[in-house]
Amino acid sequence: MHIKFPACSARGRKFHLPLKVGSGENVPARGPGRSCPPGTAAFGKAMDASSHDVLLVGGGGAGLRAAIAAAEVNPKLRIAVISKVYPMRSHTVSAEGGAAGVIKPDDSLDEHAYDTISGGDWLCDQDAVEAFAKEAPQELLQLERWGCPWSREPDGHIAVRAFGGMKKRRTWFAADKTGFHMLHTLFQTTLKYEPITRYDEWFVTKLLVDDGRVQGVVAIELMSGKIQAITAKAVILCTGGCGRVFPFTTNANIKNGDGMALAYRAGAPLKDMEFVQYHPTGLPFTGILITEAARSEGGYMLNKDGYRYLQDYNLGKPQPKPVLRSMELGPRDRLSQAFVKEDQKGRTTQTPYGSIVHLDLRHLGEKLINAKLPFVRELCLKYQNIDPVKELIPVRPVVHYMMGGVSTDINGATPFAGLYAAGEVACVSINGANRLGSNSLPECLVFGARAGKAAALFAAEQNAPDGNVLAQASDEQRRLETQFLRKTGGRERISTIREEMQATVEKSAGIYREGSSLTEATNKLRKLQERYHDINLDDRSRTFNTELEAALELGFMLDVAESIVQSALHRTESRGAHQRTDFPARDDNKFLAHSLIYRNADGSSRVEYVPVKITRWAPGERVYGEQPQEKHEQTQGISAERAS
Ligand SMILES: Cc1cc2nc3c(=O)[nH]c(=O)nc-3n(C[C@H](O)[C@H](O)[C@H](O)COP(=O)(O)OP(=O)(O)OC[C@H]3O[C@@H](n4cnc5c(N)ncnc54)[C@H](O)[C@@H]3O)c2cc1C
């Protein structure tokens, strides 16, 4: 195995800023008695900088796929992947259920596209969805060639399982550890590309922008605390989602919306941030996901009376075996909304961790559970102390996925020259108002590859970044020093602000929203932003300073929280995962449109709208249950200019 580290990379040019950071001119002098604790970096040293052609921020599914694509376009490019955790710890590793892609003879690309578009409540850009449906199977097959051990039918064909909102079985899986196998395959494949350098456990704090072009980042090497400029001709954000903005989520601590905030602060718009996905089946205390695969294999959702309550919510009638696009295989937004209604009717069970319903897998039998859902059993045994072979699994909706993100075109390009985004951090948009389960992993592959190619082509035609960005890097270093590491006298605790922010966002922008609570949340978040400037860090050391990381992540999350609440406030309709109790109907006349939220120079925000791209499927009613065909017209080449 050939692992390269940036310090010994022959490909990434390494140089020193001509600035004596810490000489007294750029950072506050270290006063008497304020000695640096052990592990403190030497401030008298010049700030390091290194340079690449294409820089990936993020080493998850999207980032690694993009890195491979860039390397394949041009083997001479110097490519770098920077990740705040070791790449195999990126959140892609936790994906369980599978990845959608048409592979069986009874299926078609159009059906996948249609399921995705109707599942997204017609807010998806249909050109992007068509490209996605076409390229997803190619990407999944490519992964197979790179070594991904897809589960198989007894005759050796690729096995596929049903997933919510899909009218055909098209979800490829590797047992219920799909993300682990996909990430492992991508990771080992990157190792064979000599031009790919890795910065493992480096934390990006800022994008460097000059002359309207993104030209690199500033990052902290977590092991040493060194702050460094890493310049590049093109930067691709692949930093994943932002579930941690909410208190109860399937997302690990690393998912703080860093990339969304980095782009937003630099002036790039965030698209459709009001659309936050709740997954209907999280374990009540931990928020650990029980994958949709459990329902696809035949699991039942039961209320406190043991009744399959989804039949009361326009999702079809109960059948002993799973029926596609029906009941437990309905889309996630509708199932999570049904839970809230069921709770309001008093038909859920109360626990110390909130109201719950049950997922029943007992009738599937031990053999099937062990073969197809081994991880579900393991998680239930370890984290809930129950065995799903014999017992009901308590579950409740949990924040899971962000439909919105950095606005990109179909090739991952943002409106900013040199800045690309792919994966969960981005909004292309193929997910619209509600993502269908198992579309995200192939989205990382398809649009990761597209962004990697586009960035490589762009980079090949650019000049190297100039000195202006290095001056900006030194400003950023000064900010990190003065605002955090050398600051004295802060009164606020990071955890207090984080908890207040999470409670505010959950209360105002949860499964159901209302104008008055969103307005209240706007004011509260503004105050939290002010209080954030008064935080206090106990840890001033430079070696793995997790408190500093938490502070920086909180800053990112506050910006993302603001963008969610503002976008939700402005969309006065209900669509997919965005349900306004004060505007309960979908309003295609006004809101068949993507929201774009921008940060203004004075720190305030503004929301604008751009039309959804419609190619062949005119908006229709979403119908689940017995009639799998929605009432919809097929149209040719319509572009939705109806949007406001
Ligand atoms: C529990 C769970 C199960 C799921 N199951 C499925 C499934 O079965 N099918 C499906 O289609 N989807 C599933 N999803 C969704 C899917 O897994 C994710 O959307 C997808 O993996 C995101 O990949 P990504 O590459 O965009 O980001 P991630 O894999 O989250 O990677 C983000 C990367 O960015 C880096 N990073 C972030 N911020 C910084 C920073 N400031 N500086 C440096 N690096 C940074 C991180 O270190 C990491 O390497 C699941 C999600 C969860 C939470």
pLDDT at 33 over 50: no
Residue 87 CA, closest ligand 1 atom number: 49
> Tell me, what's the pLDDT at 638?
32
pLDDT tens profile 421-464: 999 999 999 999 999 999 999 999 999 999 999 999 999 999 98
Residue 426 CA, closest ligand 1 atom number: 26
CA of 178 to the centre of ligand 1 (A): 13
CA dist., res. 292 & res. 324, Å (int):
13
Residue 552 CA, closest ligand 1 atom number: 41
Residues in contact with ligand 1 by the CB-under-6-Å rule are 57-63, 82-85, 87, 90-92, 94-99, 178-179, 203-204, 238-241, 250-251, 254-255, 258-259, 289, 401, 423-425, 438-441, 444
CA of 513 to the centre of ligand 1 (A): 26
What percent of the chain has pLDDT above 90?
85
> Tell me, what's the pLDDT at 628?
45
Name the residue at shortest CA distance from atom 9 of ligand 1: 438
pLDDT at 116 over 70: yes
DSSP 456-476: HHHHHTPPPP-HHHHHHHHHH
DSSP H/E element including 235: strand 227-237
Beta-carbon contacts of 398 under 8 Å, excluding residues fewer than 6 positions away, are 248, 249, 250, 278, 279, 281, 282, 287, 289
Q: Which of 91, 112, 169, 295 is catalytic?
A: 295
Most ligand 1 atoms within 8 A of CB, residue of 65, 239, 408 to mutate? 239
CA dist list (Å): 175 to 96, 145, 209, 330, 372: 8, 18, 44, 22, 5
pLDDT tens profile 146-198: 999 999 999 999 999 999 999 999 999 998 899 999 999 999 999 999 999 99
Q: Write down the H helix ranges in 79-214.
A: 109-119, 126-146, 178-190
- Report which of residues 642 and 86 the model is more confident about: 86
Name the residue at shortest CA distance from atom 51 of ligand 1: 95
Q: Which of 151, 247, 242, 280 minimizes the C-alpha distance to 500? A: 247
Q: Which of 65, 279, 575, 616 is catalytic?
A: 279
Query: Please, which pLDDT band fits residue 97 given cuts at 50, 70 and 90?
Result: confident
Q: Judge whether 78 counts as a catalytic residue.
A: no
CA of 375 to the centre of ligand 1 (A): 18
579: tokens are 């349900």
CA of 430 to the centre of ligand 1 (A): 17
CA of 250 to the centre of ligand 1 (A): 11
CA dist., res. 638 & res. 634, Å (int):
10
CA dist., res. 79 & res. 63, Å (int):
11
pLDDT at 636 over 80: no
pLDDT at 341 over 80: yes
Q: Write down the H helix ranges in 439-545.
A: 440-460, 467-480, 494-508, 515-532
pLDDT at 63 over 70: yes
Q: Which of 552, 505, 463 minimizes the C-alpha distance to 239? A: 552
pLDDT at 17 over 80: no
Average pLDDT, the chain: 90
Instruction: Identify whether the C-beta of residue 340 lies closer than 8 Å to the C-beta of residue 510.
Output: no
CA dist., res. 402 & res. 418, Å (int):
24
Query: Please, which pLDDT band fits residue 627 given cuts at 50, 70 and 90?
Result: low
CA of 327 to the centre of ligand 1 (A): 28
Most ligand 1 atoms within 8 A of CB, residue of 185, 264, 441 to mutate? 441
What percent of the chain has pLDDT above 70?
90
pLDDT at 38 over 80: no
Which of 31-40, 102-111, 157-166, 316-325 is the most confident on average?
102-111
Residue 553 CA, closest ligand 1 atom number: 41
Most ligand 1 atoms within 8 A of CB, residue of 57, 86, 89, 91 to mutate? 91
Please report where in the chains the tokens 């579950």 appear, as a residue.
395
DSSP H/E element including 421: strand 419-421
Instruction: Identify whether the C-beta of residue 587 lies closer than 8 Å to the C-beta of residue 573.
Output: yes
The stretch 475-493 carries a mean pLDDT of: 93
> Tell me, what's the pLDDT at 47?
82
Q: Which of 415, 55, 20 minimizes the C-alpha distance to 216? A: 55
Q: Judge whether 279 counts as a catalytic residue.
A: yes
The stretch 4-15 carries a mean pLDDT of: 41
> Tell me, what's the pLDDT at 190?
97
Measure CA 558 to chain center. Answer: 16
> Tell me, what's the pLDDT at 31?
29
The bridge status of strand 202-210 relative to strand 213-221 is antiparallel
pLDDT tens profile 286-299: 999 999 989 999 99
Instruction: Identify whether the C-beta of residue 442 lies closer than 8 Å to the C-beta of residue 101.
Output: yes
- Position 241: which residue type? G
Residue 250 CA, closest ligand 1 atom number: 53
> Tell me, what's the pLDDT at 625?
86
Query: Please, which pLDDT band fits residue 45 given cuts at 50, 70 and 90?
Result: low
- Report which of residues 577 and 3 the model is more confident about: 577
pLDDT tens profile 120-144: 999 999 999 999 999 999 999 999 9
Q: Is 541 exposed, middle or buried (0-12, 13-18, 19+ CB in 10 A)?
A: middle
307-342 as b/e, with b when 16 or more CB fall inside 10 Å?
A: bbbbeebebbebeeebbbbbbbbbbbbbbbbbbbeb
> Tell me, what's the pLDDT at 27?
27
pLDDT tens profile 311-338: 999 999 999 888 999 999 999 999 999 9
CA of 311 to the centre of ligand 1 (A): 33
